[in-house]
Amino acid sequence: MTREEGPPGDDDFEFTVFGPGYGESIVLHVGNGAWVIIDSCVDADGRPHALRYLESIGIDPGGRVLPTHSDINRILTATRNAYVTSDGSLSPHTHYSNRVVDRTLRQSRAQLRRLAPHAGGVRLRRSLGLGRQ
């Protein structure tokens, strides 16, 4: 993973997806330096891509980060000041295919541009395949 152009601005929304095509991890910047991590996807070394990404853009994961699944222990450990939630509504067998992820990202991009025209930019990234080394 290479260093991105830096962290998003306070009024930017960012949606980043990591994963091999199933079991993705989603990292959201929801404004004012607050982050949400949904699920966990690890690299070949067992390190969560979400943590590696945040550190690469200069974000301290121990700050304002909200992890959302109870199965992401390494992220929970690193996000020491986080609030934790688990939806409990999805079975362990629920997942989305690449086709659904692609469609969702296309729809989200259009919706976010309509919802956040005042933002300095809506940065959406799809970086699937990083889990395969």
Higher-pLDDT residue of 109 and 55 is 55
The owner of tokens 């853009």 is 57
Range with the largest mean pLDDT of 27-41, 71-85, 97-111: 27-41
Q: Which long-range contacts (CB under 8 A, 24 or more apart) does 98-104 make?
A: 98/21, 98/128, 101/17, 101/21, 101/24, 101/126, 101/128, 102/126
Question: What's the pLDDT score for residue 111?
Answer: 53
Of 58, 57, 35, 61, give the one whose Cα is nearest residue 48: 61
Beta strands, E only, 32-121: 34-38, 65-67
pLDDT digit string (tens) for 47-96? 888 888 898 999 887 777 665 655 555 555 666 665 544 444 333 333 44
